[in-house]
A and B are shown apart, each in its own frame.
Chain A
């Protein structure tokens, strides 16, 4: 494959806030390995050490941190009068589109591959300007991000327009594909499911678990406690209220459980309060936002990893947890469950079921060990190379679709 691909993204490691940047990075790397020439546009200026397999373009002058200060949802703060302003998400997006316009006029790509609503407008604009095929990759929709609430109408509109204008759509799971069909009335024939993968080599980087990081939890484990964890943003999408209520129910039946909630987010205070309302504060460990060693060690100290999401298009953290020998309990509303069999599943509202599964794993070492071992065999089979191959296939379909 020697295609010129214009990737439109919002973040790349190490300047990422979540899984989107990680997925874009590995996907691009695998495509580059197959011979693709990639121009990757991000909305900020920063060094990307270790990315030499593609050209990274910074579309604006802001720093990676400033990009998040604007907040993903303050999009109504658009500064219509001052066109040079970069104070809101809409300002940054407008600059981003202008940059992409110039880029495609100077060098027409064979395909434009954009990731999520933040860059969909730029992708549509590129297609309008130079007529290249447009692939829209959906990692999450506004329906996922807003939980059970209705979400932001402007974001919905941008997503709808992007999906309509796309020549092909890549959804990260069957769950996401259903949302695209049901909520945006896009025909099934236009959508391809390509599950994310995990780069085991990336995780086998000489990391050795440091038992001192969570020394207290390690001591509890020696006392026979089971550590149940989740590593996530504390937002409505993640279903953590149900998780804590289930924790309380589990503790009532079986005391030797501790819960590690690693991460931070707008719901943190409410979650802390809920735990104390339920009288289980000392069983729940809030670490705050974790990175690097603390992040890796959180997986390592944990025995059971729960993905409690109300709506999770994929959920890479579950695969990372599996890599670190966790037994997995995943909601049926999480896409990652589609590629794994050796897991417990529950619907996000089923607190009793979750409590039961936690106690079951905690009280049976045979069950715990077999879940931990068997899921490890499964996730190893998921590779980014396969993701790249699927993308290439989609690019070809998109190009053909356009010529028809």
Chain B
């Protein structure tokens, strides 16, 4: 009989943010990205989150032989870490070198390419796998798509591609009476297993931990450990999936998040029936209990669990349409600098910054963006799109300028 296991999975990402790129830059200045701001943000988050959390994870791996976790790290993050905080990159390498930290595959650019161009999507997954092999010397076996977006088609693709596992949100309308604390098989697939995020227990930490209006605040490790234990009592695993930056950036150090998690790991392992699994371990240990079908896309975002924060308004749809319409012309140039910048612009954060739904709801504080409004974000993006067109036209004599 296998032990009850926590499957801890953390997502690590930083985008290349666009600068305030104006009409007056278009066709003149081809530098779209705010290097200064990006470096500044990266270094800030490195201090607040990456360094202290990797330090904590390293100590936990040394202290508890059963502690394991999984990470997905985007290509854009790895580039930034190499440039601006090599020690952070080294600390991730050391974690992976223990053999108890699994790296999960995804698109290199944290993009929504799956929904707009299958060719480009596959190229980005391949790029990410190559990068992970180059840096960490490991092969990826499990796939997660941007924002944990998932549907049957994606599962089928991942199965055909050769992945052994895939991740998704354990969303009630899909699960109905079923529990997220089991391994499932995606509908219509052969060799791939599906792990579903236990969003209640994940979000207790990721979103609610420091919320003083929450009835369960303050959340102690003791209380949380009891919840996790009772959730998994007659089941196999509990999938705690969240952004890595939960630790130190979304929940600041003074909320006690680091001490809380350290204590939770210890308490969980105090029970000899409990352990931690990487995602591959969990797939190995447990046979799928049933098939799950998700015909429409489900994500881990917002109350809606959809992509509306990225693709919900017409500006976002326009921007996505323009960027992917260029694919053939861009790829034909073989100009790697141009291709990479086009890909950096595909990073989903760019479209998130254009989201207006919080403006409409009056909840402007939920708008997390380097720009003063989604309209500004859209205009800067559009001007950069035009400059890409300019470069195609001017430098490569391909494509029309099209307004």
Residues of A within 8 A of B (CB): 212-216, 219-220, 223, 225, 257-258, 268-269, 272-273, 276-277, 279-283, 285-288, 294
B385: CB under 8 A from chain A?
yes
- Asked if A281 contacts B386 (CB within 8 A), the reply is no
Q: Across the two chains, which residue of chain B brings its CB closest to A286?
A: B379
New A-B pairs, 19, CB < 8 Å, besides A273-B356, A282-B322: A213-B24, A216-B27, A219-B27, A223-B401, A225-B401, A258-B403, A272-B375, A273-B314, A273-B315, A273-B375, A276-B314, A276-B317, A279-B314, A279-B318, A281-B382, A282-B382, A282-B403, A283-B403, A285-B23
A294 to B400, CA, bound (A): 26
* 19 pairs, CB–CB < 8 Å, chain A vs chain B: A214-B23, A215-B26, A215-B27, A216-B386, A216-B390, A216-B401, A219-B393, A269-B373, A269-B375, A272-B378, A276-B314, A276-B315, A277-B314, A281-B319, A281-B382, A282-B318, A282-B403, A286-B379, A288-B22
| Residues of B352-374 whose CB lies within 8 A of A | 356, 373
Q: Does B313 contact A (CB under 8 A)?
A: yes
CB of B315 within 8 A of CB of A287, answer no
Could you say which residues of chain B place their CB within 8 Å of the CB of A225? 401, 403
B24, B314, B394: the one contacting A294 at CB < 8 Å is: B24
B313 interface neighbour in A216, A258, A276, Cβ under 8 Å = A276
Contacts of B378 in A (CB 8 A): 272, 276, 281
Chain B interface bracket (under 10, 10 to 19, 20 to 34, 35 or more): 20 to 34
Question: With A and B bound together, what is the CA distance between A219 and B27 in angstroms?
Answer: 9
Residue among A214, A216, A285 with the most chain B CB within 10 A?
A216
Among B356, B378, B394, B400: residue with most chain A CB under 10 A: B378
Q: Which of A258, A269, A276 contacts B318 (CB 8 A)?
A: A276
Residue of B nearest to A288 (CB): B22
Nearest 8 A/B pairs, CB to CB: A216-B27, A215-B27, A283-B403, A276-B315, A276-B314, A216-B26, A269-B375, A272-B375
In the bound complex, residues from chain A placing their C-beta under 8 Å from that of B375 are 268-269, 272-273
Whether A287 and B24, one on each chain, are in contact in the complex, defined by CB atoms closer than 8 angstroms, is yes
CB distance from B399 to the nearest CB of A (A): 11
Q: Does any Cβ of A come within 8 Å of B402's Cβ?
A: yes
Contacts of A257 in B (CB 8 A): 403
Tally of A-B Cβ pairs under 8 angstroms: 70
Tell me, in angstroms, the Cα distance from A223 to B373 when the chains sit together: 33
- Which residues of chain B (266-281) have a CB below 8 Å from chain A? none
- Min CB–CB distance B84 → chain A (angstroms): 31
Q: Which residues of the other chain, A, contact B400 by a CB distance below 8 angstroms? A: 223
B75 to chain A minimum Cβ distance, whole angstroms, is 28
A219 touches B314 (CB 8 A): no
A212 in contact with B28 given A269-B375, A272-B379 (CB within 8 Å):
yes
Q: Which residues of B contact A213 (CB under 8 A)?
A: 24
**CB distance B27 to A282 under 8 Å?**
no
Instruction: Determine how close the nearest CB of chain A comes to the CB of B310; give it in whole angstroms.
Output: 15
Cβ distance B382 to chain A, nearest Cβ, rounded Å: 6
Contacts of B26 in A (CB 8 A): 215-216
What are the residues of chain A within 8 A of B28 when measuring CB–CB? 212, 215
Given contacts A219-B394, A273-B314, contact A282 B24 (CB under 8 A): no
Q: What's the nearest-Cβ distance from chain B to residue A190, in Å?
A: 46
- Taken together as a complex, chains A and B put the C-alpha atoms of A223 and B319 apart, in Å, by 23
**With A223-B400, A282-B382 as contacts: A216 and B23 at CB distance below 8 Å:** yes
A268 to B372, CA, bound (A): 13
CB distance from B25 to the nearest CB of A (A): 9
| B387 within 8 Å of A (CB atoms) | yes
Q: How far is the CB of A377 from chain B (nearest CB, A)?
A: 32
A280: chain B residues within 8 A (beta carbon): 403
Please measure, in the bound complex, the distance between the C-alpha atom of A384 and the C-alpha atom of B313, giving whole angstroms: 49
Contact with A along B13-34 (1 / 0, CB 8 A): 0000000001110111000000
In the docked arrangement, what's the CA distance between A285 and B401, Å?
Answer: 14
Name the residue of chain B whose CB is nearest to the CB of A251: B403
Residues on the B chain within 8 Å of A223, using CB: 400-401
Nearest residue (CB) in A for B321 is A279
List B183-209 residues whose CB lies under 8 Å from chain A: none
Q: Is the CB of A216 within 8 A of B387?
A: yes
Q: Which chain B positions have C-beta within 8 A of A294?
A: 24
- Measured CB to CB, the nearest residue on chain B to A272 is B375
Proximity string of chain B (315-346) to chain A, C-beta cutoff 8 Å, 1 when within and 0 when not = 10111001000000000000000000000000
Tell me the nearest residue of chain A to B29, going by C-beta: A215
User: Bound complex: CA of A279 vs CA of B382, how far in Å?
Assistant: 13
How close is B374's CB to chain A, nearest CB, in angstroms? 8
Q: How far is the CB of A289 from chain B (nearest CB, A)?
A: 11
